[in-house]
């Protein structure tokens, strides 16, 4: 499978579902499509036909507002029909605006309030070590937004993970430099982000979040670190794939209107055709 092609298809699905919903978040989901594609189509140990498989890796989406990319990726991976994506945010849908574990059992957690996911992931990683020992091959992945790191609860969880040397925990920070009110460094500066994580006892890697080779190599290295948890700071472009949306914090929490969606889909489909032709 060509991961670039699949990621582009997932971006198309994100635009289509947001248009149908008439609300939702655009920038973050488009920016994280490459990482989610790499995870679900090459890295995660999982089984869409058996979502509750005990030996699966677990993925915790802490920044739940980017759930369109999670839903779209899971649908493309075979967890549920792609056609169901059009029910995003509709009354009675399993695909709520923030993930609801009880309605969509193949999710690992419910999320919405920011700053909660890392603590949940730390608990899962610690429980796995207690139950299976340090030799367990299962990993817990926690997806975090960079603006979300303004929440102090993240750093309490990070401190505990460092203390317990949770080598089976891999956090991935979407370092797209935006949050709902503006650019992160204007709202609440995060740098030096690497130094902060290292101070809490984490192994830190920084990557281009759109380079599949770098994504895979970083996760591989993180798995080989046995004495501490790892965090991958993934530098991404919010709104990736649609020039009109890229790097604009205004697209953090709004959905495209009909004309904007048509423009975005045309651009993505043109790009998809180019990618396919380059690999034929």
Lowest mean pLDDT among 103-112, 161-170, 260-269: 103-112
Is the pLDDT assigned to residue 7 strictly greater than 90?
Answer: yes
Cβ contacts of 16 within 8 Å, gap of 6 or more: 85, 86, 261, 265
Confirm if 280 and 4 have CB atoms less than 8 A apart.
no
Q: What rounded mean pLDDT belongs to the chain? A: 96
CATH architecture under which domain 3-278 falls:
3-Layer(aba) Sandwich (3.40)
User: Would you kindly state where each structural domain of the chain is located, as residue ranges?
Assistant: 3-278
Nearest to 167, CA basis, from 232, 127, 227? 227
Question: Residue 102 and residue 110: Cα distance in Å, rounded?
Answer: 8
Confirm if 10 and 25 have CB atoms less than 8 A apart.
no
Cα angle 165, 169, 175 (rounded to 5 degrees) comes to: 115
For the chain, the maximum distance between any two Cα atoms, rounded to a whole number of angstroms, is 54
pLDDT computed for residue 132 by the predictor: 83
Question: Residue 17 and residue 265: Cα distance in Å, rounded?
Answer: 12
Band (277; pLDDT cuts 50, 70, 90): confident
């895979």: which residue's tokens?
216
Mean pLDDT of 191-203: 98
Q: Is 171 helix (H, G, I), strand (E, B) or coil?
A: strand
Share of the chain above pLDDT 70, in %: 99
208 bridge partner residues: 235
Bond preceding residue 77 cis, omega within 30 of 0: no
> How much is the pTM?
0.96
Q: How far apart are the first and last CA of the chain?
A: 12
Question: Residue 230 and residue 227: Cα distance in Å, rounded?
Answer: 10
For residues 1 and 18, the model is more confident at 18
Question: Residue 119 and residue 96: Cα distance in Å, rounded?
Answer: 22
Is the pLDDT assigned to residue 127 strictly greater than 70?
Answer: yes
CA torsion angle 234 238 243 247 (round to 10): -100
Question: Residue 47 and residue 38: Cα distance in Å, rounded?
Answer: 15
Residue 96 region, left (φ>0) first, then alpha (ψ -120 to 50), else beta? beta
Residue 7 region, left (φ>0) first, then alpha (ψ -120 to 50), else beta? alpha
């Amino acid at each position: 499978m060509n991961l670039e092609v699949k990621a582009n298809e997932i971006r198309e699905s994100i635009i289509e579902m947001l248009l149908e919903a008439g609300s939702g978040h655009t920038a973050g989901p488009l920016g994280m499509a490459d990482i989610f594609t790499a995870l679900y189509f090459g890295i995660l140990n999982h089984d869409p036909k058996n979502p509750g498989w005990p030996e699966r890796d677990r993925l915790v989406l802490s920044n739940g507002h980017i759930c369109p990319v999670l839903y779209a990726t899971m649908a493309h991976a075979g967890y549920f029909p792609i056609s169901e994506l059009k029910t995003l945010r509709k009354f009675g849908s399993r695909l709520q605006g923030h993930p609801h574990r009880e309605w969509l059992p193949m999710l690992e957690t419910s999320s919405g309030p920011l700053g909660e996911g890392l603590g949940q992931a730390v608990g899962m990683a610690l429980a796995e070590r207690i139950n299976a020992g340090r030799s367990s091959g299962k990993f817990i992945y926690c997806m975090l937004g960079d603006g979300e790191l303004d929440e102090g609860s993240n750093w309490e969880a990070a401190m505990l993970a460092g203390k317990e040397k949770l080598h089976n925990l891999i956090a991935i920070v979407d370092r797209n430099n935006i949050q709902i009110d503006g650019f992160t460094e204007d709202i609440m500066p995060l740098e030096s982000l690497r130094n902060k994580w290292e101070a809490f006892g984490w192994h830190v890697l920084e990557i281009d979040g759109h380079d599949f080779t770098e994504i895979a190599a970083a996760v591989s290295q993180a798995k080989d670190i046995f004495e501490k948890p790892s965090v991958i700071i993934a530098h991404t472009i919010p709104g990736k794939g649609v020039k009109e949306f890229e790097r604009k914090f205004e697209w953090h929490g709004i959905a495209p209107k009909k004309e904007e969606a048509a423009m975005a889909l045309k651009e993505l489909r043109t790009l998809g055709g180019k990618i396919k032709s380059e690999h034929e």
